A and B are shown apart, each in its own frame.
Chain A
Amino acid sequence: MSAAQEHREPGAKEAPIVPPPPGSIADKFKKVLPDVEFVANQGVLDVIITVPRQDIPRVMRTAKDDPRLAFDYLRCLCGVDQMEQGLEVVYHLYSFKHAHNVTIKTLLPSDDPQVATVTTVWNGALWHERETHEMFGIVFEGHPDLRPLLLEEDLGYYPLLKSHPLAEIEESQEEFLREDGKQ
């Protein structure tokens, strides 16, 4: 087992879910969207809210439009490969009006990584979603232009997935060089 596989094992430690304190942004979400089932977690800096993927368009639109939430600023949009659990899309939002922020996550199954786009809500998501698509293979339905941004076209694989090798390539290269040096 190579060193790189150490933290890929399913037994890797997960962070415990800590419910956020009362009065946090999770409560505001509950008030605004009472019928959406989400899990709230108090992270290190922000509150993390995990919503099911079919609710993403509604949650995002409400997060921007509702005056109590007023999340007019999309900070960052990225993907995380959680291996067995699937692919995660993480949205970091901020509100200039209320000066509060939140992290919204959604989990996608690995064999069907599709989620609705948020470019209709924030323009800034345009390039973030393109990059997440080319790195993880997540398809954002409704995105106007999902071409690769940083990588070349027709690459054939998604580099940031954990199934794409990283350390193995380096180790096999090292072995090759060692053998070459011995000859």
Chain B
Amino acid sequence: MAIEERELETIDINVNVGPQHPATHGVFRMILRVDGELVVDLEPVIGYLHRGAEKLSENCDYRQAIAFQDRTEYLAQFNAELCYVIAVEKLMGLEVPERAEYIRVILTELNRIASHLMFMGAFSADLGVFGTLFMYAFRERERMLDLFEEISGDRMMYSYFRVGGLAWDVPEDFVERTRWMVKEARKGIADIDGLLTENEVFLARTRGIGIMTAEQAIDWGFSGPMLRASGVRHDLRRAEPYSIYDRLEFDIPIGHRGDVYDRYMVRLEEMRQSARIVEQCLDQMPKDGPIVAPDLKRVLRPPAGEVYMRAENPRGEYGIYLVSKGADKPYRLKIRSPSFCHLAALRDMTIGHYLADAVLILGSVDIVLCEVDR
């Protein structure tokens, strides 16, 4: 007697994780095709935040364009400003005074810690931790933002770096305050580590999710923590050093598998290494000195030429491709943003996982929509 099998007919449904959604970290749209809970297809739709920064930069002079860098990468502003400012300096062949270099690197690394803290907060919110880790991370981040506000006048859009140095000098208590802040930040990082790293639920949710092998990562143009989590030993601060990074001693965390857990661990450890860099810079920084290269004209006219300057942003490799024709405005300013390249691979990372994992994978990419869309 044959037992007849009746097959259940199922349909895939399209779930629109729309532009407005608590999990998409901004106006980003994912059109998911799910079979029950399994993601079968994914299409990312971007462009909701496109403001034409590249075209607008062609109408600004080199000093005004610094503000665009802040607004493009709004979580790691100093990193973006540094990349742009060094690009122009390389075009012009300028040499930046020591004190300005050190202050720049200190602020850049503090901003890296702040950006990774934001990642920790948002990532844990995606995971479902009700808000605890978010508050712990933001306690430290707020201190840094207060410091940045005192230095530059703005909590988020600093426009503090200038071509050739800084806009003005830092306050007098900068060194002691930064030292204290870094000490507190280490405690905050330990809090975050203690809450999530060994947590069984966290391990179950993030191990083996969203794996990108090293070859795939290189092929898709990954960079930064995403690339290092996949096992590729590459950090622009070491491979192609800029500013004073070749004088500083720090380690680079490398993951083994390239899953969401590794990306989290890499970023967690990077925060500790950034704290280390800041402490070294505070020790080595000259007590006084000029903060701007001498004999700079008011209106900058770099000689004709082009440069592709790349810097290690918290998200990856941030590139500024600057073409100058000798005028006071850039001829072409192309911003190569790491989140843009990472999002292109989102489909390959997510297919085959569950709906709940799609949110986590997107969170682990740590996108900043403004730099994806510019």
Contact = CB atoms under 8 A, between A and B. Distances in A.
Contacts of B50: 150-151
Contact-size category for B: 35 or more
A45 B221 contact: no
Nearest to B221: A124
A48 B306 CA distance: 10
B305 A43 contact: yes
A143 interface: no
Contacts of B240: 101
Nearest to B306: A43
Interface in B224-261: 232, 234, 239-240
B138 interface: no
A73 B218 contact: yes
Interface stretch (A26-34, A75-83, A173-181): A75-83
B46 A75 contact: no
B308 A13 contact: no
Interface in B291-344: 303-310, 317, 319, 321, 323, 325-327, 329, 331-332, 334, 336, 340-341, 343-344
Contacts of B220: 122-124
Given A13-B326, A44-B307, A96 B218 contact: yes
Contacts of B59: 4, 166-167, 170
Interface string A1-27: 000101100001111000000000000
Contacts of A51: none
A92 B335 CA distance: 13
Contacts of A126: 344
B348 to A, nearest CB: 8
A21 B319 CA distance: 25
B228 to A, nearest CB: 12
A151 B47 contact: yes
Given A96-B232, A149-B46, A7 B308 contact: no
A101 B56 CA distance: 29
A179 B170 CA distance: 44
Contacts of A43: 305-308
Contacts, number: 117
A90 interface: yes
Contacts of A7: 325-327, 329, 331
B46 A46 contact: no
Interface in A95-119: 96, 99, 101, 103
B63 interface: no
B344 A124 contact: yes
A73 B221 contact: yes
A159 B52 contact: yes
Contact of B221 (A13, A75, A159): A75
Nearest to B310: A75
B200 interface: no
A151 B374 CA distance: 11
A160 B305 CA distance: 19
Contacts of B344: 123-124, 126-127
A12 B324 CA distance: 10
A73 B319 CA distance: 14
B90 A122 contact: no
A80 B341 CA distance: 20
A124 B219 contact: yes
Contacts of B52: 159
Q: Which residue of A45, A92, A128 has the most chain B CB atoms within 10 A of its CB atom?
A: A45
A44 B305 contact: yes
Contacts of A76: 308, 319, 321, 334, 336
A74 interface: yes
A166 B221 contact: no
Given A7-B329, A13-B325, A75 B305 contact: no
User: Closest 7 interchain pairs by CB?
Assistant: A124-B221, A7-B327, A13-B326, A150-B47, A15-B305, A76-B336, A44-B307
Interface of A: 4, 6-7, 12-15, 43-46, 48, 72-76, 78, 80-81, 90, 92, 96, 99, 101, 103, 122-124, 126-128, 135, 148-152, 159-160, 164, 166-167, 170
16 contacts: A12-B327, A44-B305, A72-B218, A75-B336, A76-B308, A92-B308, A92-B319, A96-B218, A96-B232, A101-B240, A123-B344, A124-B221, A149-B46, A149-B47, A166-B55, A166-B59
Interface of B: 46-47, 50, 52, 54-56, 58-59, 90-91, 218-221, 232, 234, 239-240, 303-310, 317, 319, 321, 323, 325-327, 329, 331-332, 334, 336, 340-341, 343-345, 373-374
